[in-house]
Amino acid sequence: MDSKVVGILGGGQLGRMMVEAASRLNIKTVILENGADSPAKQINSSTEHIDGSFNDEAAIRKLAEKCNVLTVEIEHVDVEALKKVQEQTSVKIYPSPETIALIKDKYLQKEHLIRNQIAVAESTAVESTSGALQSVGQKYGYPYMLKSRTMAYDGRGNFVVEDDSKIPEALEALKDRPLYAEKWAPFTKELAVMVVRGLGGDVHAYPTVETIHKNNICHTVFAPARVNDTIQKRAQLLAEKAVSAFSGAGIFGVEMFLLPNDELLINEIAPRPHNSGHYTIDACVTSQFEAHIRAVCSLPLPKNFTSLSTPSTHAIMLNVLGSSNPEEWLQKCKRALETPHASVYLYGKSNRPGRKLGHINIVSQSMDDCIRRLEYIDGQSDTLKE
């Protein structure tokens, strides 16, 4: 297993947790990221890391020279450079550069899903003019969602157009970005499914989970989702079908909306480990990070390796977000350490309000028990119950 070296574009927390999973399999990892102190480099003492940007062709080539396989912890990378490396060297790249290109532009992603008969919110590309935004309002009604096609994360890149008086503000907020508009999805819950895709195109869904966002940032994840078994299964099948529409191997995070009539729509797909899959580290047979490393290194993906550890396993993941008063998040972590069945993961990042600094996994035999433990740890969880 130690014959392969995996290069990771991006050295944040997702890279850090990939490094951990790879090192347990004796698989060497090399990180491409600006600076020497990124979360992934901190826990990997190799001197081989590359100091540079995952959008710089020369830096990507340098990384490729040291590796057999390249993968990403972020989709906002230079795809053209990856395509060249793929054509000109024997280095394998997973997910494939074609997949990253289709996914990193959210509107191309939507069009690709529609071509593959996968249900998504109705959307349309728009010019950055108030006339164009007004016609969208006439077509979709208000509110609708205006989104940046590229470089969007944690809600940065989205604007809710409540009515036509908000159009100037929307244009100001998203100016100079390529835009598309999406019909409002009046969801009752947001669900997510991690899917790992093997080199042969086989797809394996993790359990369906429920994600709760606050201020556009993932706050908590409930695994499995508090929906009936049929919806859970339908969400897994939809996620598998969606991931089957892309080429290459690796883990994918599939975000969905559950509508009032129980219809499911795909919101977006990430071609990498995902925040909604952090619970898998403690609650599943194999974590999303190990599943990814196995997939990109052509290692076995046996039957049921994405299942919950036991049929009665329940889990909650709570993100640890930075706060203006650092005591706040530190106290949360301290309370988690005091709580049996809770594990704390910190990413080695400095505190900034709203920044993802770590997460806490709580695993138990019932969701009620997980919620009780969460209430102690989070200290303000009145909105968390159904």
Which residues of this chain interact with ligand ADP, rule CB under 6 A?
Answer: 121, 145, 147, 152-155, 158, 182, 184-185, 190, 213, 216, 255, 267-268
CB of 285 to Mg ion, least distance (A): 26
CB of 208 to Mg ion, least distance (A): 16
SS3 assignment for the chain: CCCCEEEEECCCHHHHHHHHHHHHCCCEEEEEECCCCCHHHHCCCCCCCEECCCCCHHHHHHHHHCCCEEEECCCCCCHHHHHHHHHHCCCEECCCHHHHHHHHCHHHHHHHHHHCCCCECCEEEECCCHHHHHHHHHHHCCCEEEEECCCCECCECEEEECCHHHHHHHHHHCCCCCEEEEECCCCCEEEEEEEEECCCCCEEECCCEEEEEECCEEEEEEECCCCCHHHHHHHHHHHHHHHHCCCCCEEEEEEEEECCCCCEEEEEEECCCCHHHCCHHHHECCCHHHHHHHHHCCCCCCCCCCCECCCCCEEEEEEEECCCCHHHHHHHHHHHHHCCCEEEEECCCCCCCCCEEEEEEEEECCHHHHHHHHHHHHCCCCCCCC
Residue 121 binds which entry of ligand ADP, Mg ion, none, CB below 5-8 Å type-dependent? ligand ADP
Q: Are 32 and 15 spatial neighbours (Cβ–Cβ below 8 Å)?
A: no
Compare residues 198 and 273 and give the one whose CB is closer to Mg ion. Answer: 273
CB of 158 to Mg ion, least distance (A): 9
CB of 297 to ligand ADP, least distance (A): 28
Compare residues 90 and 261 and give the one whose CB is closer to ligand ADP. Answer: 261
CB of 64 to ligand ADP, least distance (A): 28
Query: Quick one: tokens of 332?
Result: 């949360």
CB of 282 to ligand ADP, least distance (A): 24
Residue 213 binds which entry of ligand ADP, Mg ion, none, CB below 5-8 Å type-dependent? ligand ADP
Residue 25 binds which entry of Mg ion, ligand ADP, none, CB below 5-8 Å type-dependent? none
Compare residues 20 and 255 and give the one whose CB is closer to Mg ion. Answer: 255
Residue 20 binds which entry of ligand ADP, Mg ion, none, CB below 5-8 Å type-dependent? none
Residue 185 binds which entry of Mg ion, ligand ADP, none, CB below 5-8 Å type-dependent? ligand ADP
CB of 148 to Mg ion, least distance (A): 12
- Residues between 252 and 311 that touch Mg ion (CB under 5 A): 255
Residue 118 binds which entry of Mg ion, ligand ADP, none, CB below 5-8 Å type-dependent? none
Compare residues 63 and 161 and give the one whose CB is closer to ligand ADP. Answer: 161
CB of 74 to Mg ion, least distance (A): 14
- Residues between 231 and 260 that touch Mg ion (CB under 5 A): 255
Compare residues 211 and 313 and give the one whose CB is closer to ligand ADP. Answer: 211
Residue nearest to ligand ADP (CB): 185
Q: Radius of gyration over alpha carbons of the chain, in Å? A: 21
Residue 83 CB partners (closer than 8 Å, separation 6+):
97, 98
Tell me which residue has tokens 């770590």: 358
Compare residues 63 and 181 and give the one whose CB is closer to ligand ADP. Answer: 181
Phi then psi for residue 46, to 5 deg, are -55, 145
Compare residues 33 and 255 and give the one whose CB is closer to Mg ion. Answer: 255
Compare residues 186 and 300 and give the one whose CB is closer to Mg ion. Answer: 186
Residue 376 CB partners (closer than 8 Å, separation 6+):
335, 339
Residue 305 binds which entry of Mg ion, ligand ADP, none, CB below 5-8 Å type-dependent? none
Strand partners, 29: 6
Residue 282 binds which entry of Mg ion, ligand ADP, none, CB below 5-8 Å type-dependent? none
Residue 33 binds which entry of ligand ADP, Mg ion, none, CB below 5-8 Å type-dependent? none
Compare residues 91 and 145 and give the one whose CB is closer to ligand ADP. Answer: 145
Chain contacts with Mg ion (rule: CB under 5 A): 255
